[in-house]
Structure 1
Amino acid sequence: MQRLLSIPNSLWELTAPEIGQKNATGSVETWRSSIKKAYWQDKPVSGCRQMEIVEALCSGEEGNRKKASSLLSRLVSKRQDLQSRDFIFIFEYCARKPDPLFAMETWKLMEAERIAPSDRCFFLTIQALGKGGYLKEAFNLVSTLEEPSVMNPPLPMYNNLLQACVQLRSLKYANECLNIMEHQAVGKNEITYGLLLKLAVLQDDLSAVHEIWKECIKRYNPSIMLLGLFIESLSKLKDLESANVTLQQMVNVAFQQNLRFVKTSKGKWHHLRLDIPIPCRKKLTWKDDGENTHIPINLQSENHKDEEVKATVLSLSKKPVARPAMTLLSRSFNNVLEACASMRNVVLAEQLFSQMQNLGLEQTRFTYKAYIRALVSVKGFHDGLEMLKVMQQKNIEPFDSTFAAISVGCSRALELDLAENLLDQIPKCPYAYPYNALLEACDILDNPERAVRVFAKMKQRNVKLDIKTYAALIKLFGNVNARYEEGNLSSQIDVAKRINVMEKDMMRLGIEHSHLSMQFMLRAFAMEGMINELKKQFVNGNTDLQMSSYETVLHSLVEAEESHMAIRVFKNMVSHGFPLSQPIYTTMINCCSYIECYRSACALVSMMIRGGCPLHIKAYTAFMKVLLKFEDFNEGLELLDHVISEGILPDVILYNTILRAADEKGRIDVIELIVEHMHQEKVRPDSGTIRLVLSAYVNNGFHATAVEALHVLSMRMISEQDDILEEAKLKYEDLIFDEDLDFESQIIEIFKESVNLAEALLFLRWCATFECHISWLPNESLWAKRISSDYASRQSSSWTKESIKIG
């Protein structure tokens, strides 16, 4: 039994702080007393020397450590009949501290003096090496056991090594330990399985947890403590279904079995249950790659079906249960509730919370923290606030993270006053995420004043700022002008100063730009027209930007007619093998229209096709601009025909592109052809279409035709269907002719619902001022009939040079 000293004897002890944190070295007087008690009478010289060595080591000073080594050498040189027990207290100190270096020094000295180590010395040496992080040396020592030896290492030694592997997150040595255990046929007990579960969680390996379960239940009826560890593992790996099934089994074990617990000398509860190691022939392997596979856990035996379990749970709370078992149950419920919060499963969270009340389990602030997180993530902050009131009634103090979770819910609901008030109740909030959520809400509501106040509080409370904080600030303050306003020299200077201050702050804190923050910064430069600032990002070949950032920069450069810089950036992307997206290709084809280079546009289209990037309507629109730059309307109309043949429905932007070129060249014939083609394809015009058509007619002196076209196209903006137009007539005809001052407020309300509808009504009201007869059957218009007839005479939708004879 001596070899079992200092070894965890229950799974309950495994839930204590990790090894390395139990630095129970003991005082010098404690060591002196224990050595006297065991050795002073029988071995006065050896006991005295060990006491002096340990006393020197306990001081922790470098000089005394050398003194300990000197005393150790003197102990060996003065005694010829030394045995392993004459070093036992030294090894025990090294294992408890831990002090792996002195343990190795003592072990090598024993080897040099040919002093045979006992099982106890061997075990303590391994324990010291494992706790101290010297796993390689520990396994080198263990590997000697494969040779013929009188050693018979106990399972606790291997459990101790596995526990060290957990602490150091070493999968390699964990596999090596399992291989040795299999070779030595030492078997596994519940402590072993508990440690294997911890390794599986560290590796995020759900399939390994299920494999451990299948192996365990073949040899054990899992205890309540082992069930708790399985629940914790399954919850951390987000397998809610299996975790809940295991939890219900744990409830049955706690309430239906007479569990007995005793307290150890360290104040820990120990489950009185025989735990005999059972050899396992099947090797447990760990995955290296691949996804986790879900293997459902079947916990119900033939005598305990799901229906019977549900029926018995109602009466379980009437049975007396040991307090440690209730504590373990509460902890397991909390673990599953945490997983419910992470996976936003509020239904299961509500069921478990209610079940805890029915079973009489203590609902601590850990319970409420997880439950409130689940509620807020799905139902909103109101339910979280209600649970806060319940906690106050029960005198349960919430965690700071509980306030933070509800505050985030308030921010997402744009309840900024509530969100800020909740954060004010966390005077020393160490994390930034609730403040970041509030800053994002300030951006949505365009409330920079509150954002400044929130950021000042973050600084005052020493909140650890992160890149999400600065990304939100850049998005908030990276633009001075109102939306749709162009930047000017003054606003550009302000933006540059703001971003410069934020970047200096980031540099001081060691925070680097993320893809999101970089994108917000580039967008700010683009909105303000700060082309030089955009150029700086690519002077040194910056390839760390995300594709969306490149899209933003390229679009801004092309819009600013910085074509050569845009081409340089694009070539930089190609040379570095950067994946090219449809928006990037479209932007560069658009760039070709500015530099009037047809060959480059064709080359880009060819690159898109070869790169497996399908042409879409925006790419066709950009290429159309290039064609029409050379007044090649025949090629443009053929391209339109090709778009339709590819099964792509042309949009109003593509039609407006052709109309714009025709308006610039005064080609009314092309304009009327395109307007009728839009009608045939059921593409409703927009305000841009009407502006281009009116411009063409007015510039050529056809004012009456312009008004008639305005009338017809306004009706088509509302709808292409006669029945919908009839409904619109009943609803809006009075509004068109209404001279009441309330017209503006009514049209504003319509704008909120539909911009196109509001604009169409304004155009029709304009027509009425020209004393134009408002007909709700636009196809009956003489102008509409004429262009329809002309369109039909051009062989319907056949777009060939011979039939159209344009240009």
Structure 2
Amino acid sequence: RSHSSKRTKAPKPSHSHFYLHEAMSKVGSSLYTRLHGIFKASPIATVKPTKPKSQIKSKKFVNKAKESSASTASGGDGVESSNVAKKTKSTDLTKKVEKFKRSCESESFRQVHGLYSAFIRRLREAKKFSVIDEVLQHQKKYEDIKSENFVIRMMLLYGYSGMAEHAHKLFDEMPELNCERTIKSFNALLSAYVNSRKVEEAMKVFKELPETLGMTPDIVTYNTMIKALCRKGSMEDILSILEEIEKNGIEPDMITFNTLLEEFYRRDLFAEGDRIWDLMKSKNLAPNIRSYNSRVRGLTRKKKFTDGINLMDVMKTEGISPDVHTYNAFITGYRGDENLEEALKWYNEMKEKGLIPDAVTYCLLIPLVCKKGDLDRAVEISEEAIKRKVLSRPNMFKPVIERLTSEGKIRKAKQLKKDGKLQSYNRYLPDVSTGKKKISSSPAASSPVEADDEESA
């Protein structure tokens, strides 16, 4: 590895080193015994539930009354101008919504999920929830509404928009719409609640509806609930779900185990994660790239970079090649230390290996490069992302645009902003105004990017 020569590489451990820890804590041993019992039909030990970390209440936003007063004091012209701008944005939005509805008249258009997802995402970012409902309700006029898969798409879009109750209402309406309702649409309803971060409601639906509707939960149902409970941080509930899986004679699959691995390694429970790993292998399920990436992320979060490098060597002996998410894990770790040199080494090695950086890669690097004051490099990386046609995230290029603006390089900033928009979801549909303020001349933000798991995971 081009940049490993500068490190003192640890002796290559035995293959089993990564999967077993010699010392077992009482809690870890008990947890393993219980998990082992679930999947091996042996007596189950009692383990105390792991208490989730205390939730830290977010600070309320500062009241903007002063700003409003200042705006009013500046004169009626400012207020009038503001009202005109709002009216213009509202008119533009209405036109875009109507254009989307007209596009929906085409059967081929309705078959492309990405078009719906892109438009709804823009509306969600703009917090236009009533418009989201309007657009999705409009779909009921088409024959596609009799297709369970089409309705599932709508339910998932509601879920991604934090509108699980709307998804539930649609689920209840399916018989009236002459649409078959199976465990697939029930699983979509669960996902809508989980993606809306409404875990308690998901639990209630999971416990009550299947019996009422005469449906039998499948492994997708249980995997969805495990994902929900991992977010909740309730180890006892997770174990209860696993017991129910075994009790009902359902075999856990790779998604089951990978979800558990991601959770255990994320919470720094390496001993327990490695035991889950062994249980997975005992089921004749070979760890895949997602399994390894979960462990790599766990190691790099703890700054155990040498162990992460060694694990990559193990992956290769198993015939599994590191992917962009593997490299992003190292970039994330070094970004946390503001170690630009190492982050760039992993970024360059990724490209040398023929891997294409994704939106997460650029969202990690661009703010760090800007913060370190290397504006030319930040522009270069941004232009590379645009050239590679990487689907940009909201504000992905904001740090470098702000830095260019603050240094008076307005023309370059405008060009980058224009090119960046072409790489956004506008490649599918016109932009939907979010009503955000114009670019400021303040220094680039340094807050970390929240990358999704295997986007990140």
With normalisation by structure 2, the TM-score equals 0.48
What is the TM-score normalised by the length of structure 1?
A: 0.29
Q: Comparing both chains, which one has the higher relative contact order based on Cα–Cα distances under 8 Å and sequence gaps of 6 or more?
A: 2
Larger Rg: 1
